[in-house]
Chains A and B, each alone.
Chain A
Amino acid sequence: MARIFAYIVHKGGVVDDSAVELAAAARKIDAAASPTAILTGWGADLDAACNALSASYAEVWKLANEALAYPNAELVRKALVKVLPSGSIVLLPHQHFGMDLAPGLSIKMKSTFVSDVVDIAGVEGADLKVVRQEFGGQVSAHVRCDLSSGAVVTVRPGAFKSLEGAVVSGVGGVIDKSSDIGALTAGRRYLETVTAEAGDVDITRYNVLVSIGRGIQEKENVAIAQELADALGAAVSCSRPVVDAKWMEKSRQVGSSGKTVKPKVYLACGISGSFQHLAGIKGSPFLIAINKNPKAPIFQVADVGIVDDLLEFLPELSNRVREMRTVTAK
């Protein structure tokens, strides 16, 4: 079995949640594996991140270089290619940095690439068998990947959680590989990070969210959701396609590239339920899904589902809420 490496994302000395998830994925590839964590960075932040990993990884490779102080994928790739043994299996999280780094890394490592893996079915001969989702999560697929020249595998955040039987013996500790990197230059240079604008409504403060997706169909229909939200004392939030279409501000978007919300009740209206969207819903709210498509993945994770046309369902629901409020007021 090839040696397994996990590329660890870290920031400000704090290791990303994906570190333990990659360790869990590595053990699903090879139960006997003792995966090696590999980190790039610079200074005290890097040292703190390396030291924080001793509980989940027996061996940690540290690649320190001032040029790597910010994780520029092109520079990180060049550093990794210098130190990783050929034929290695390299695991990365499937988020914005992994998406930037992994495809090119597989080319330079001359290895196989498979992305956004949600489960590992096992190793069969020279192949790794993984599970991926396609078509917005409506179907899953088993995919075979040739391991004979190594592989770069990106793993969906949150898909691997439990570290069953993970016993880490602290043999290797932190090994400094920095001197193997050499000089680093890139055709892409990081400038700065621009933080998201606050927006008019803070959706993170509401107990109830009426959240709309592509199923709202046009900008004018956003008012239908707003009416319900007004009746309920809720706010309207949305999924990515609604922002892409410029029907709502980015500050209303729930998901990994938007806001993280923790309401008590989440009404998902015409939202298919991509993992990027679900990643923004925390605290296990009561999730009610309304969607015309009975195959929509949102029905797999919702508590209650209604297969109906939301453009008809929502106005009637608003009317009922208002009726009820009037009766209560009397």
Chain B
Amino acid sequence: MEILVCVRRVPDTSENEIQLNSAGNDIERDELVYSINEPDNYAVEEALQIVARVGGNVTVATVGSEDDEEVLRREMAMGANHGVMISDEAFSGSDGRGIATILKGFVEKGHYDLILTGVQAEDGGAQVGGMLAALLDYPFASLVNSIEVLDGGKLTISREIEGGNREMNEIDLPCVLSIQTGINEPRYVGMRGIRQVASIPIPTFGASALGLDPGTVGRVAVRVKRVDYFVAALGKGAEILHGSREENIDKVLELVAAKGGLK
């Protein structure tokens, strides 16, 4: 099975306090810790496990720039056979549809049985996988939390639906699946593993190599555009306890008791 996994490098929300920049048009990116988008990492692990069972190759690709190479190396250290950088000045500023259009160009240059994405990115809209599938006219399933390979070019998959229930489906290959976190336990990647893949060449594909009309991607084709960032109050806001830890503990106990929680 030839599997393509589309990955992205994103600011790691669990490691960062996201702040706005002074102009309010972006987040403060100088001090941010970046990492692979978490669901994408689960997608790569799932691809590796499928290939371990039925044979084949795993290719990881990202639409990005030099800075994003580190996530390709990381996933190659996990065991992906190939890393591919899809990069062009004409791609910058693409919206979700633009990214899907670029990926379609790349998919059509190769031959993949299965294409995986993460279910969504930290700053994304859970959109690229479904758009890519529709552009390719492949079947699609979102929120996938198990995959079993059947004979005859088919998979049985489950989707995570409400209440922890699972929707079982059969799906024809080739197809696009967006992978939900928790589907597996991604293997650990150490510094040594990353050093071992440091010298493997990563080919770069641009707009002309993919036969893409520059008018269909990048800033010129954008239909969805972020105007500004702001911090919105979701609720009235918590009363923050500013006492010492001991005082805060006493206060918490008092409140828990008052609300009927200590019996």
Inter-chain contact count A-B, CB under 8 Å?
272
Contact with B along A168-199 (1 / 0, CB 8 A): 00000000000000000011111111111000
Total residues of chain B contacting the partner, CB 8 A: 86
Question: Across the interface, which residues of A come within 8 angstroms of B251, CB to CB?
Answer: 304
- Do A135 and B139 touch (CB < 8 A)? no
Tell me whether B4 is interfacial, beta carbon within 8 Å.
no
In the complex, what residue of chain B is closest to A136 when comparing beta carbons?
B13
Tell me whether A10 is interfacial, beta carbon within 8 Å.
no
Distance in Å: Cβ of A148 to nearest Cβ of chain B: 8
Docked complex Cα distance between A208 and B262 (Å): 9
Question: Across the interface, which residues of A come within 8 angstroms of B261, CB to CB?
Answer: 207-208, 232, 234, 264-265, 286
Docked complex Cα distance between A317 and B163 (Å): 32
- Do B170 and A188 touch (CB < 8 A)? yes
Choose among A140, A149, A195, A289 the residue that contacts B165 (Cβ–Cβ < 8 A): A195
- Do A299 and B238 touch (CB < 8 A)? yes
Total residues of chain A contacting the partner, CB 8 A: 100
Within 8 A of A (CB), among B242-263: 245-246, 248-253, 255-256, 259-263
Main SS of the interface on chain B? mixed
In the complex, what residue of chain A is closest to B20 when comparing beta carbons?
A139
Q: A135-B27, A146-B224 are in contact. Are A306 and B165 (CB under 8 A)?
A: no
Name B's A-contacting residues (CB within 8 A). Answer: 11, 13-14, 16-20, 27, 42, 96-97, 100, 119, 122-123, 125-131, 133-135, 138-143, 156, 158-172, 175, 178, 181-182, 185, 223-235, 237-241, 245-246, 248-253, 255-256, 259-263
Name A's B-contacting residues (CB within 8 A). Answer: 72-74, 77, 95-96, 99-108, 112-116, 129, 131-146, 149, 186-196, 207-208, 214, 232-234, 240-241, 243-246, 250-251, 253, 256-260, 264-265, 267, 272, 285-289, 293-295, 297, 299-308, 312-313, 316-317, 320-321, 324
